[in-house]
Amino acid sequence: MKFFVSCAKGLEYLLADELLALGAARATATVAGVNAEGTLADAQRAVLWSRLASRVLWPLASFDCPDEQALYAGAATVPWHEHLRQGHTLAVDAHVSGEALTHARFAAQRVKDAVVDGFRAQGLERPSVDVDAPHLRLNLSLRKGRATLSVDLGGGPLHRRGWRAARHEAPLKENLAAAVLLRGGWPAMRADAGALLDPMCGTGTLLIEGALMAADVAPGLGRIGATAPACDEPGDAPAPVDVAPPPTRWTGFDVAAWDAMLDEARVRARAGLAALRPVFHGSDLDPQAIAAARANAQAAGVAGAITFQACDVDALPVAAAARGLVVCNPPYDRRLAADGGLYRRLGQALQRTVPGWRASLLCGDAELAHATGLRAARKYQLFNGALECVLIVCDPVQAPAREDPAPRELSEGARMVANRVQRNLRRLRNWRATEQVTCYRAYDADIPEYAAAIDVYAEDGGAQRTFLHVQEYAPPKEIPEADVRRRRNEVLAAAREAFAVPSVQVAMKTRERGKGGSKYARAGQGSLRPPGERFVVSEHGTRLWVNLFDYLDTGLFLDHRPLRRRMAVEAKGRRFLNLFCYTGVASVQAAMAGAASTTSVDLSANYLQWCADNLALNGLGGAAHRMVQADAMAWLEAERGRYDVIFCDPPTFSNSARAADFDVQREQVRLLRAAVARLAQGGALYFSNNFRRFRLDEDAVSQFAHCEEISASTIPPDFERNARIHRAWRLTRD
C-alpha cells in the first residue's frame, strides 16, 4: 500500500532513508515529504519511531476534484461509519493548491459535511468536531485537481515528543533538531564514545533529542497519553501509560500490532536510558532558558545525563573529551535579532575549545554561516517553519584555508581569456534573460591556445551560488607540460575573475576518453568539495540535481537544451520513451509538460536513482513514470509497447560487463530499426549523437523510416562556436 509521510522542507532524503531503515518497502522523496510503500504496520511503526516525520497519512480515497461539489461528492462515497464509531469526534486538516478550491478551511468544512451526512444517512449519531484531540483526524490534500483523503495515523504533529514542559522564545522543532544531529553524524559519533555540546542551547531541544536518540528511546513514546483521544467506550476507565490508547481511534488501526510495538519500544528505552552516559553539555547566556532546559530534560527522563550552565559563548571551557559533535541553532530571525558578530564569536569559541570536533550548525542564511569563519565540508538548505536556513557541517572545526592570499594581477593570457568571457556574456545577455537560462556555456576554446570550456551552473534556491565547470581539452602530446600547467592556471584565474567566485566553487577537469570509452567517465581527484555533493539548478521550469565534482559529466548536458524543449512540447498528452536516459532530464521535462507517461531506460542503477530523484524533486512519481534498468538495445528488441515520442542519445561505445559491447557507428541501424518499431502511428524518434566521426547510414535507415537531420535547430546560442557538439535527426515511420 502507498502512503505519505510529510516533513519539513529539506528533510526529505533523510526521511526516505529513515523509512527504509524502519521497514518500508520503498520510499521516494518529494517536496516536503516522502511517498512510501509498505504495510499498515510499517506506517504505524513510522508514527512511533520516525524522528523526522511531521505526519503519517494513510489514504482512504482519491478522486478528481474540479470544484467543491466534486469534493463533497467524492468524500461522500466513503463509508464513514466503517471508519469512525458513533459518538466519536472528528477533525479535518486541509491543504489546497490550484484554482479548483482556494480556501483550506472551506474545503475542510465540505469534507466534514460529507462525513456528518453519511452518518445521518445511516441513521446514526453524527460525530462532533474536536480540533485539539479528535478520535479521527483526517487530512485532505488537493493538488492539480486531484483530492486525496487520508487518516492522520499519529493524530497530530509528530514533532511533539511530549516532554516540552517549559517554553522559551523561538523553540526549535524536535524533528528539525533530529535532522541537525543526523546530518552531523551523531549516531556514529555516539557509538564512538563521542560527546555532544550545544553552546547556545536555549531550552535544550538539540541536547534532549540527542540524548533520547543515544538512549534508543522511540520519539513516539513521549506522546503516549499526552494527546491521545479519551477512552470513552462503555466500561473504559482512564488508562495507565503502559496500556495507553492508540494515537487515533480510526477503526482500521491495528491496535494489537501497535501494542506489540509499544512493548518492544519500552524495553529498548529502559535499557538505553539505564546505559546513558553523562556526555551531554549545554550552555546559554540566558539563565531563564537554562532553567527551562533543565525542566524539559527532567520531563524527558534524561536530566541525569546532561549538564547545563549559564555562560556566554566567549566563556566556554575547553572540552575534556577528545572527540564530539557541536550542535547549535544560533539566533537568526527578526524576533531574536540575528547578529553576524555573534556568529563570528561562536566560530572563534569553537576553534578555541573544540578544534578537533565536528560541528553541525543551523544558521539563518549563507551570510551568517560565512560569518562563523569555519570551513563547511557540507551545506544543506533546511526550513525552520517558514524561515529558510543553511545547515553547515564542519569536520573538523577549523577556519578555512585562504584561497587567494592576495589579489594578483592577471597575466596577459589570463586577461585575454577573461575579456573573451566578458564579451561572450554581453553577447548572450538578452538571450539568457529572455529564455531564463541559468546554466550555459560561457567560453569554448575561443582562443585556441586556451583550449577549455567554461560552463556556468547557477544554484536554484538555497544559497543561490554560482558554480563553474571548467573542462580542459586534452592537449597534444608535443605541448610541454609546463605550458599545459600554465595555461590551465590562467584559464582558472580568468574564470574566477570573470565571475567573482572562490576556488571551492570551480570544478576543473580534463576531457579525454575514459577507460572502456564510457560516456560518463569518472573525473579526476583533487576536488575541494566533499564527495557526493550535489545541488539543484533549473531549466525550462524544472528543477534538477547536478554534481559538478565527482564525474566527468554533471548530470545535465547543456547542449541538448533546445532538443529537450522541443520533445517536451511534442510529448504533451502522449507517451514518452527515453533510451540511455542518463539522469532522466528529458523525461522530467516531458512529464512537467504534460506527458501522459514516461519510460526511462538505462543500465546504470545510479543514473536511474538520479532520474528518480529528479522526478521527485519536481513532485512527479507513480506508475505513470516508469524506470527500467536494462541494456537499452536488448530491452528495445524485447519490448512490445508503443510510444509517441522517443529520445535516443546513446554513448559512442561501451564495454560494460553487464551488456553486449556497443559501438554506435556499428550498431546504429539495428538500434534505430528497433526504436522505430516501437513508434506509435504519427510518433517521432529523436536520435542524437556526439561522436564527431559518426556517419549515418542513410541508405539502410531509409528502408524503414523517414529521416530528417535537425542538428542546426538543436544547437543553442551558447554552443554556436562548437556547432558539432552533437548531431540530431528526427525519424518517423513510413
* For residue 527, pLDDT beyond 90: no
Q: Check which CATH number belongs to the domain holding 347 and give it.
A: 3.40.50.150
Residue 109 lies in a domain: yes
Query: 526 and 470: one domain?
Result: yes
Query: 25 and 86: one domain?
Result: yes
Q: Which three cell numbers stand for residue 337?
A: 535579532
- Are 308 and 208 spatial neighbours (Cβ–Cβ below 8 Å)? no
pLDDT tens digits, one per residue of 644-676: 999 999 998 776 656 667 889 999 999 999 999
What is the DSSP code string of 96-147? E-SSS---HHHHHHHHHHHHHHHHHHTT-PPPEE-SSS-SEEEEEEEETTEE
* pLDDT for the residue numbered 479: 86
The band of 339, judged by pLDDT with boundaries at 50, 70 and 90, is low
Min mean pLDDT across 165-169, 336-340, 525-529, 548-552 is at 525-529
Among 161-175, 224-238, 483-497, the range with the most confident prediction by mean pLDDT is 483-497
Min mean pLDDT across 96-105, 143-152, 417-426, 680-689 is at 96-105
- Are 445 and 455 spatial neighbours (Cβ–Cβ below 8 Å)? no
Last residue of a domain, one of 519, 552, 585: 552
The full 3-state SS of 421-443, as one line of letters, equals: HHHHHHHHHHHHHHHCCCEEEEE
Query: 88 and 15: one domain?
Result: yes
Residue 236 lies in a domain: no
Distance between CA atoms of 28 and 553, rounded to whole angstroms?
Answer: 25
The band of 485, judged by pLDDT with boundaries at 50, 70 and 90, is confident
Query: 386 and 429: one domain?
Result: no
* pLDDT for the residue numbered 530: 58
Give the HSE-up count for residue 316: Cα atoms under 13 Å, Cβ half-sphere: 26
Q: Check which CATH number belongs to the domain holding 44 and give it.
A: 3.30.2130.30
Mean pLDDT of 304-311: 96
The full 3-state SS of 597-652, as one line of letters, equals: EEEEEECCHHHHHHHHHHHHHCCCCCCCEEEEECCHHHHHHHCCCCEEEEEECCCC
Strand-pair partners of 647 = 578, 686
Query: 646 and 726: one domain?
Result: yes
The band of 628, judged by pLDDT with boundaries at 50, 70 and 90, is very high
Residue 225 lies in a domain: no
* For residue 440, pLDDT beyond 90: yes
* pLDDT for the residue numbered 722: 83
Mean pLDDT of 419-424: 94
Mean pLDDT of 152-156: 96
Residue 162 lies in a domain: no
Query: 389 and 405: one domain?
Result: no
* For residue 521, pLDDT beyond 90: no
Query: 186 and 52: one domain?
Result: no
* For residue 338, pLDDT beyond 70: no
Last residue of a domain, one of 359, 378, 394: 394
The band of 475, judged by pLDDT with boundaries at 50, 70 and 90, is confident
Q: Check which CATH number belongs to the domain holding 529 and give it.
A: 3.30.750.80
The band of 410, judged by pLDDT with boundaries at 50, 70 and 90, is confident
Q: Which three cell numbers stand for residue 555?
A: 548530470
- Are 357 and 396 spatial neighbours (Cβ–Cβ below 8 Å)? yes
Exposure string for 349-385, b = 16+ CB within 10 A, e = fewer: bbbebbeebbbbbbbbbbebbbbbbbbbebbbbbebe
**Phi (first) and psi of residue 367, to 5 degrees:** -65, -45
* For residue 245, pLDDT beyond 90: no
Last residue of a domain, one of 552, 570, 585: 552
- Going by C-alpha positions, the residue among 273, 269, 272, 291 that lies closest to residue 282 is 291
Mean pLDDT of 342-351: 92
* pLDDT for the residue numbered 170: 57
Task: Report the largest interatomic distance among the alpha carbons of the chain, rounded to a whole angstrom.
Answer: 94
Q: How far apart, in Å, do the first and last CA atoms of the chain sit?
A: 44
* % of the chain residues with pLDDT over 90: 71
* For residue 174, pLDDT beyond 70: yes
Query: 342 and 202: one domain?
Result: yes
Helix 481-499 to helix 412-435 angle (10° resolution) is: 50
pTM over 0.75: no
- Residue 412: other Cβ atoms inside 10 A: 8
* pLDDT for the residue numbered 90: 96
The radius of gyration of the chain's CA atoms, rounded to the nearest angstrom, is 29
* For residue 602, pLDDT beyond 80: yes
Query: 114 and 185: one domain?
Result: no
- Are 560 and 583 spatial neighbours (Cβ–Cβ below 8 Å)? no
For the chain, the domain total comes to 4
The band of 476, judged by pLDDT with boundaries at 50, 70 and 90, is confident
Residue 75 lies in a domain: yes
Residue 74 lies in a domain: yes
* pLDDT for the residue numbered 231: 43
- Grid coordinates 509538460 are at which residue? 593
* pLDDT for the residue numbered 621: 87
Residue 87 lies in a domain: yes
Residue 253 lies in a domain: no
* pLDDT for the residue numbered 169: 56
* For residue 531, pLDDT beyond 90: no
Question: At CA 188, angle to CA 183 and CA 352, rounded to 5?
Answer: 70
Mean pLDDT of 55-80: 96
- Going by C-alpha positions, the residue among 609, 608, 552, 562 that lies closest to residue 589 is 562
Alpha helix positions (H), 448-582: 481-499, 561-571
Give the HSE-up count for residue 431: Cα atoms under 13 Å, Cβ half-sphere: 14
Distance between CA atoms of 65 and 179, rounded to whole angstroms?
Answer: 35
Query: 361 and 433: one domain?
Result: no
* % of the chain residues with pLDDT over 70: 91
Mean pLDDT of 129-135: 93
* pLDDT for the residue numbered 642: 97
* pLDDT for the residue numbered 632: 93
Query: 495 and 600: one domain?
Result: no
Query: 561 and 547: one domain?
Result: no
The band of 107, judged by pLDDT with boundaries at 50, 70 and 90, is very high
Find the domain containing 663 and state its range. Answer: 557-733
CA distances to 13, 36, 159, 644, 689 from 30, in Å? 9, 10, 19, 27, 32
